[in-house]
Amino acid sequence: MRTRQLAWLIPATVLAAVAAVAWQLNHPPGLHTVDRLFWPTTAPPNTPVKVSFLGVATVLLDDGETALLTDGFFSRPDKMTVFLGKVAPDVQAIAQGLQRAHIAPAGSREGSTLAAVIPLHSHYDHAMDAPEVARRTGALLLGSSSTLMVGKGWGLEAHQMQLAQLRRPYHFGRFTVTLYPAQHTPTGFTGGVIDQPLVPPARATAYQEGQSYAMHITHEGRTLLITSTAGFVPNALQGVKADVVLLGIGALGPRSEEHKEAYWNETVAMVGARRVTPIHWDDFWIPSTLPMQPLPPPLDDFESSMAFLQRQGAAQGVDVRIPAAWTPMDVWDGLKR
């Protein structure tokens, strides 16, 4: 009798656990508890540098003449495709994303010129679309050897790709970009390199991390740091200063308090930031045409991440603002220079 009971109980327990996870994945936390933290206004037309959050860790910087883009991820395949199938750039979604962000195609004389697209590491939700973005806009694809393998697999011309060097300043118009070593949040997807051209469609896991970067930007006295993931290399940002940090918090929630504090200290505190704007918190399995919502548990814990950021901000006098999606912001507004 006991054996029969166990034979029934084990699969029932497994089924219940699977059902619980499935329910969580389809019931993300809401944003009502952090409504007051959302960026309140759109940047005025005369803002010297406009910064727009386009989802995940895709960020557009535009000074009216030159534009830069991190990652350039617009395809956003659904979770079933990611878990069970293969992923590939959705050229229609990319075209629509570029148009919505007012990123001009190659050869256009209207608006700013996209000088570079810079994936901050090589997972599919960061680097997969970047070669097509570069092809459509004429931008330089600047990234790690793994990212360049993504470019080669997509057939991007060699003259549009450049291997990034750590701690070397790159100049694009009035922007200066310097890349510092970073590391992905410690998860099962951390590490690995892409050592041959990656031709899509491919498994999402084929897009290995490669070299991760923390990206530092200066523009006529304004300083900004962008991180794409909640990992870090100890002391990598020693001596770097940034007034504002666009802080990647993907998968930060489930990490220990010790990890969260170390991440804050190695990024926000070390650079002397006075404002933090979290990115990479949204569910990247839903189309960007829908309202953003936090990544669901058990993959992340948005509420825990935001509670931590607010505690640290209050204790250290750092302003915490959530970015309004697809909306140009003056992220330095109100900060004395």
CATH number at 79 reads 3.60.15.10
107 vs 285 pLDDT, higher one: 285
What is the model's pLDDT at position 180?
A: 98
User: Which range marks the domain in which residue 91 is found?
Assistant: 44-320
**From the CA atom positions of the chain, what is the Rg in Å?**
20
pLDDT one-digit tens code per residue, 197-231: 999 999 999 999 999 999 999 999 999 999 999 99
Question: Strand, coil or helix: what is 99?
Answer: helix
Percent of the chain at pLDDT > 90 equals 81
**Two tokens, residue 297:** 């548990």
For residue 212, what are the β-bridge partners? Answer: 182
Cα 172 to Cα 87: distance, rounded to the nearest angstrom: 32
Peptide bond into 201 cis (omega under 30): yes
Decide if 195 is inside a domain.
Answer: yes
Could you give phi then psi for residue 292, rounded to 5 degrees? -70, 145
What's this model's pTM, rounded to 2 decimal places?
0.91
Within a domain: residue 329? no
pLDDT (mean) for 274-297:
95
Q: In this structure, are residues 22 and 299 in contact, taking their beta carbons and an 8 Å threshold?
A: no
Mean pLDDT value across residues 126-146: 98
Domain assignment present for residue 143? The answer is: yes
H/E run at residue 92 = helix 91-100
Q: How far apart are CA 207 and CA 308, in angstroms?
A: 30
Chain-centre distance of CA 119, in angstroms? 9
Whether residue 70 is contained in a domain is answered as yes
**Would you state the structure tokens that stand for residue 241, as one six-digit string?**
């200063």
In a domain, 39, yes or no: no
Who wins on pLDDT, 319 or 19?
319
Burial 11-43, CB ≥16 within 10 A → b, else e: eeeeeeeeeeeeeebeebbebeebeebebeeeb
Please compute the mean of the pLDDT values over residues 86-110 and round it to a whole number.
93
The answer for residues whose C-beta is within 8 angstroms of residue 295's C-beta and 6 or more apart is 28, 250, 281, 282, 283, 284, 302
Give domain status of residue 313, yes or no.
Answer: yes
Q: Are 122 and 150 in contact (CB under 8 A)?
A: yes
pLDDT on residue 2: 58
Average pLDDT, whole number, for the chain?
Answer: 91
Q: For residue 92, which amino acid is it?
A: Q
Q: What's the length of the chain?
A: 337
Backbone angles phi, psi at 135, to 5 degrees: -60, -45
Domain total in the chain: 1
Which range is least confidently modeled, 32-46, 67-81, 92-106, 209-223?
32-46
Among residues 298, 295, 274, the alpha carbon closest in space to that of 285 is found at 295
**ω into 298 cis (within 30 of 0):** yes
Query: Region 276-289: what's the mean pLDDT?
Result: 96
**Least confident interval from 2-6, 48-52, 121-125:** 2-6
Give me the pLDDT at residue 41, please.
79
> What sign for the dihedral angle of Cα 182, 185, 188, 189?
negative
Residue at 161 is within a domain = yes
Beta strands in 66-221 (DSSP E): 66-70, 113-118, 140-143, 161-163, 169-172, 175-182, 212-219
13-62, pLDDT tens digit by residue?
434 333 334 444 455 567 888 989 998 878 998 999 999 999 999 999 99
Considering the domain boundaries, does residue 58 fall inside one?
yes
Note the pLDDT of residue 5.
55
Are the C-beta atoms of residues 318 and 335 closer than 8 Å to each other? no
Taking residues 65-89, what's their average pLDDT? Answer: 97
Share of the chain above pLDDT 70, in %: 91
pLDDT at 106: 87
